[in-house]
Structure 1
């Protein structure tokens, strides 16, 4: 998702830049592909570079398919690099992935940032006629070095300075190197960079300072509300470059820099806040540290992180956060439905302090509400018509029955009030031969309807295929603006049907398992 969002952003620029390039199709010969990889590998900046294939020079998405000429996967590109002889045996690190934009496939060749620059060939394959061994090809602004020329002396000097760590301040270098955890070794409470041991990250427990530190609201969304704090220092040659406070959640299972407070101000009395929440900017040092100290190999850490992420907002950058604030402050009523939905939940705050219980509960409600509003806010900005589902009806019917009394149709109605009705029909009667009424939890019913809204928005109207098996299904969605969406199909279920069916089955204790999208 991270690469997808970045590629969408770069395509929308409709111009090429110093770390991305458009290609309408894959290179017709490997020599030109190798040149592009070398140019992107030899950059002075500290960003990953992207070769976006399937996009015209003006940013129009052309797309690729299985018949696109010279199309390559990651294995083919890695094979190309492994068969090339690089000076010092330093080989650019790359990846190839396919992403879907609308209905069109594009390939993204990522050339990862490296400090082992400059990359150049010590000898070349006999198949190559133009590329020159010993030449240093690089990219400056949106231009690659021509294949018959060497980079300028100034550019080569900058590349060597990058390798020696003379271009960026130490803090920037450390943050950049933190992206590659393989570069770091952990000894006790200190991480050090294996290529530059002067770069260190140190954790320090300060029991006295944080002995009585109160828990934040997000502590109560964990399996265990036990919370502790440590200090984290980024050092270069024992000099502290930056200090952070890190919170340890769920009895030590997950740790992260303490997120920042966000305040939504009253549009009339601006000095007063009507909502408060916690957030992290994805382009911040805090986010880089969070990703670095997160142990993705631990299932316990993964679950604790998921619970933390449920109630903490992540913005791409400061501008997105500012726009998010303005969208609410200009019309506070826009989040009222989200707040009311979140209030349906049950929140357990283990405290003897009534004020703390009230405060943390309110902040948890705001966090869950804002998390969902942020998702819808982004979808609206991308042009999606976001709606609120009031009810869903699923009808599953078969014409295959040996007897008139055999059940041939199931109908399930789910309403936002929590009412769930299940009707069974046979071939003899137009009325339901069996009716089951259930009362589902309102919170989980609303949660289910919110879950299916973005999924069903992308559904087509008809999933029927030309086959005679006597089986069909219908789905009707009703929205709070009075509109309706009807979808139908037969043997082909709609996308994510299995997940939706599982959630419906869990909503109520059905006496008879309902037929939904898949015939039982």
Structure 2
């Protein structure tokens, strides 16, 4: 989410002057890990099913105090994500979070954004009592949520009504057909096995009225193709249907002359940074389809298993974080370009590009973006 969009949302919540089901004001941080954890769990399980916000630097009435002078260590996306991943969440489902800082009234606010997902209810399989204070302890199996501006008490669990709502959300019971299809795509094991070269059709085993169909293919061209052994590719229309109704359409790309399949990635040209890359966001249609064609992985490989330069992000916010990181690390470009240009495999790729001469944005720009991406991953992933 851009800073401007987030700022507009947070300003609207601050003006209300009270806390709610999916937003909470925090004047300062705390060193109590149980408090930190229950706040995030309750927000992830909020009964509005809304993206939620922990707003650090504002009092309970929404008055901006700022967080810039805190004596505690400020949150980052990396620190909060690592904190959550180490906790015993049922089924391995961990709340998805991101941290952004914005400026309002000449003060800094840290915003912990908790994504709305279908993996509710989030709960722990073991009790959590880092401080060994029985009043702070979180209990195994307890489902914590948030009603109006109040979290579920730690010794209790959510009401039957709210627990049912969270489980119905998990199983997609109340979704429209288009929403349910996206939900079903998250579980590739529930779809019929198929050979996309011949059958070109798959259906959901539990709800067979939902189908994936690939139509006839034609020859195509993409700069990405030069990174495969054979730069020739095909593309085909890909339809996602409910009964006879087409709910979504995209393309399936047969790279390496049909040996490697990927759903159509997006292209990004960022002229000010000289950045050109292909990408797929996990929460997009192509992101949900990728494991169907990549042997269950969120990664694009060639037939030898080598990763291809299609950048994979969790969402648009993470992709924008990457672009911001590239802008701040422009000093790496000369070294990256030199290393790439001296690589024998890349020289072979360049030779193919020169021979065919079709690239509008060359393979060098694509390789540089991919090298930046690998460096960014080492630092933040």
Q: Tell me the alpha carbon deviations over residues 294-313 of structure 1, each in whole angstroms, 9 at most, x when there is no partner.
A: 4552256854789xxxxxxx
Within the candidate set 253, 275, 284, 1:288 is matched to 284
Counterpart in the other structure of 1:161: 168
- State the Cα RMSD in Å: 5.4
Counterpart in the other structure of 1:446: none
2:121 maps to 1:117: yes
Deviation of 1:163 after TM superposition, in Å, equals 4.1
Instruction: Report if the CA contact (8 A) 1:24-1:54 is conserved.
Output: yes
Q: TM-score, normalised by structure 1?
A: 0.40
Aligned equivalents of 2:146 and 2:111: distance in 1? Answer: 21
Within the candidate set 229, 234, 242, 2:236 is matched to 229
Counterpart in the other structure of 2:275: none
Q: Tell me the alpha carbon deviations over residues 70-119 of structure 1, each in whole angstroms, 9 at most, x when there is no partner.
A: 9665444444x33xxx7xx4565135655455796846364662445274
Within the candidate set 236, 242, 248, 2:246 is matched to 242
Residues 170/55 of structure 1: CA separation in 2 closer, same or farther (3 Å cut): farther
Deviation of 1:244 after TM superposition, in Å, equals 3.8
Counterpart in the other structure of 2:95: 94
Aligned equivalents of 2:240 and 2:51: distance in 1? Answer: 26
Counterpart in the other structure of 2:379: none
Aligned equivalents of 2:124 and 2:336: distance in 1? Answer: 54
Residues 77/228 of structure 1: CA separation in 2 closer, same or farther (3 Å cut): closer
Residues 24/6 of structure 1: CA separation in 2 closer, same or farther (3 Å cut): farther
Deviation of 1:187 after TM superposition, in Å, equals 2.3
Q: Tell me the alpha carbon deviations over residues 329-374 of structure 1, each in whole angstroms, 9 at most, x when there is no partner.
A: xxxxxxxxxxxxxxxxxxxxxxxxxxxxxxxxxxxxxxxxxxxxxx
- Greater relative contact order, per chain length (Cα 8 Å cut-off, separation 6+): 2
2:51 maps to 1:41: no
Partner secondary structure for residue 213 of structure 2? strand
Within the candidate set 15, 30, 34, 2:33 is matched to 30
Counterpart in the other structure of 1:255: 263
Within the candidate set 207, 227, 238, 1:198 is matched to 207
Q: Tell me the alpha carbon deviations over residues 137-175 of structure 1, each in whole angstroms, 9 at most, x when there is no partner.
A: 312455534557654443233234334543223431332
Higher strand share: 1
Residues 197/116 of structure 1: CA separation in 2 closer, same or farther (3 Å cut): farther
Q: TM-score, normalised by structure 2?
A: 0.51
Deviation of 1:43 after TM superposition, in Å, equals 3.3
Gaps of 5+ in 2: 226-230, 268-279, 342-381
Counterpart in the other structure of 1:11: 10
Counterpart in the other structure of 1:477: none
Aligned equivalents of 2:266 and 2:93: distance in 1? Answer: 35
Instruction: Report if the CA contact (8 A) 2:40-2:114 is conserved.
Output: no
Q: Tell me the alpha carbon deviations over residues 279-301 of structure 1, each in whole angstroms, 9 at most, x when there is no partner.
A: xxx99xxx832222345522568
Larger Rg: 1
Residues 131/228 of structure 1: CA separation in 2 closer, same or farther (3 Å cut): same
Residues 302/6 of structure 1: CA separation in 2 closer, same or farther (3 Å cut): farther
Instruction: Report if the CA contact (8 A) 2:25-2:56 is conserved.
Output: yes
Q: Tell me the alpha carbon deviations over residues 438-458 of structure 1, each in whole angstroms, 9 at most, x when there is no partner.
A: xxxxxxxxxxxxx9xx96xxx
Gaps of 5+ in 1: 260-281, 307-314, 317-374, 376-450, 456-493, 507-520
Instruction: Report if the CA contact (8 A) 1:158-1:167 is conserved.
Output: no
Instruction: Report if the CA contact (8 A) 1:26-1:70 is conserved.
Output: yes
Partner secondary structure for residue 284 of structure 2? helix
Residues 64/95 of structure 1: CA separation in 2 closer, same or farther (3 Å cut): farther
2:321 maps to 1:496: no
Aligned equivalents of 1:44 and 1:199: distance in 2? Answer: 30
Q: How many residues align?
A: 282
Counterpart in the other structure of 1:298: 300
